[in-house]
Amino acid sequence: MSESIREILARPSAGGGVTIRGWLRTARHSKEVSFLEVSDGSCFSGIQVVAGPECHGFEETVRALGTGCAVEASGELVESPGSGQSFEIRASSVALVGGVGEDYPLQKKRHSLEFLRTVAHLRPRTNTLGAVLRVRNATARAIHDFFQQRGFIQIHSPIITLSDSEGAGDLFRVSTLDVENPPRDEEGRVDFRQDFFAAPAFLTVSGQLEAEIAALALSKVYTFGPTFRAEDSNTSRHLAEFWMVEPELAFCDLDGLGELAEAFLKQVFQRVREACPDDLEFFNKRIDDTVLATIAHVIEQPFERLRYSEAIEILEKCDRQFEFPVRWGLDLQSEHERFLSEEYFRRPVVVTHYPKAIKAFYMYLNDDEETVGALDVLVPKVGEIIGGSQREHRLEVLRRRIAELGLEEDRYWWYLDLRRHGSVPHAGFGLGFERLVQFMTGMANIRDVIPFPRVPGNAEF
RNA sequence: UCCCCGGUAGCUCAGCUGGUAGAGCAGGCGGCUGUUAACCGCCGGGUCGUAGGUUCAAGUCCUACCCGGGGAGCCA
């Protein structure tokens, strides 16, 4: 494999022959010389190829090149006399590998992100999406590194599931039945006993329950995989298909979970800042000029920790008028979360001990019998980025909670069984991977931090 | 799903109180001895989101629908 532009630009000094392959960002032609800016996606920067009449292919090829053309160029790596780059390639030959039509939609000029979504097959070639995909990659790697270094074992939780988990969101059905003419049972209802899995099946909304199973054997585990929600929600923070990171720890309580969440975010931010400095510089310059300061802040400042009750007090006492009411027992709204993290504390905030009525059945019931061991991490701009809890590991308490909420115990038989055999305190959280990338890059719309977004009414590409 | 805003050239937009569509960039051609989203000149390019309606006349006003954006709900 040939040397990437990233590797060439990282050379200690000029000199020597190089060959690069990539796509033209722009071509500047004057009478005796052409400047080609070539990118291969290996790093934010492209490399400048300078071709004159002595270059093989100058008249036939180089003069006709424009934005988008795929080329192969060979020559000598030299120090650039122009400002704007340290090295450039003095070309001895340039060959066209793949030309572009007159209707090639990408210009060297800035495009709107909305337009780029309509050409998702070409948008990775833009500065912005290229940077997003490199940061996304670095973030995924940093996540694996964090857990692997600490002895967490990755669990591959299933994509197809029969249970609807915590009942979170609407589910995508998985079926091989003929939708035009499904088999019916005696009462005329669709007979899923004849379906592929002999039961109604769905795409997973979370790997949590499976992670709990694994944690109660391997102690420290995590999942990192796609999840699916069929909610008709159309916002800049929601996708129908997104990736979720879910660590789960045995012998861990809520405090331990909060420490893990903070160490996790700090290290991931640190690693991505080390891996993608040019990309982050670009986001800070062109997308959101607070990105670098925010990243530094997350790495350096301790997170604020407070209980739900304290959060309510702060919100009640402040002189801000909120659209939605603030009262103990009501869930925090987006505006409340943003006020706390963006304005009041100006840093990530860890809120714990929520009222049991607004949280899921599996969360640990505190001694006050009113609150549960829930934990949310709120960050500026994005809002809730992590949601987690200490799990209820006491069989009788869990059965009571299931009954209180009117859930069917039968459907959770194996989840309950885990509490009958070797049950221990355990805790875990879920992190929306795209929201993390949004936070890192400052991208306003979640559809622009995933290469192929799935949203209501649109799954093209 | 709800509320608000928008849809005009390939892209980004302008088009006033209704009078029959324009700029920059992109594209094509030509010029320019080192450019940095290069620059200069010329040229081509539009059923103004769709369907109805009002009017002598609709890009402009009205209605419905479609698509996009922002916010909210739900959540990650």
| pLDDT for position A279 | 94
How many CA atoms, within 13 angstroms, populate the side-chain half-sphere of residue A351? 27
Q: Which of residues 115-154 of A touch strand B (CB under 7 A)?
A: 115, 117
Positions of chain B reached by protein Cβ under 7 A = 1-2, 10-13, 25-28, 31-39, 67-76
CA of A117 to C1' of B20 (A): 35
| pLDDT for position A169 | 56
pTM of the model: 0.93
Q: Which of residues 291-350 of A touch strand B (CB under 7 A)?
A: 324, 331, 333-335, 338
What nucleotide is nearest A32 when CA is compared to C1'?
B33
Q: Which of residues 213-242 of A touch strand B (CB under 7 A)?
A: 229, 231-240, 242
Q: Which of residues 352-411 of A touch strand B (CB under 7 A)?
A: 383-387
CA of A105 to C1' of B35 (A): 24
| pLDDT for position A406 | 84
* Amino acid, res. A327: R
| pLDDT for position A457 | 84
Q: Which of residues 421-460 of A touch strand B (CB under 7 A)?
A: 430-432, 434-435, 444-447, 457-458
| pLDDT for position A164 | 55
Tokens of A262: 């903070």
Q: Which of residues 41-70 of A touch strand B (CB under 7 A)?
A: 48, 50, 66-67
What nucleotide is nearest A168 when CA is compared to C1'?
B75
CA of A34 to C1' of B31 (A): 15
The single residue listed with the structure tokens 């720890």 is A249
| pLDDT for position A168 | 47
Residue A28 Cβ < 7 Å to strand B = yes
| pLDDT for position A231 | 87
Q: Which residue is nearest to nucleotide B12 (CA to C1')?
A: A111
For chain A, residues with pLDDT lower than 70 are: 1, 163-169
What nucleotide is nearest A116 when CA is compared to C1'?
B11
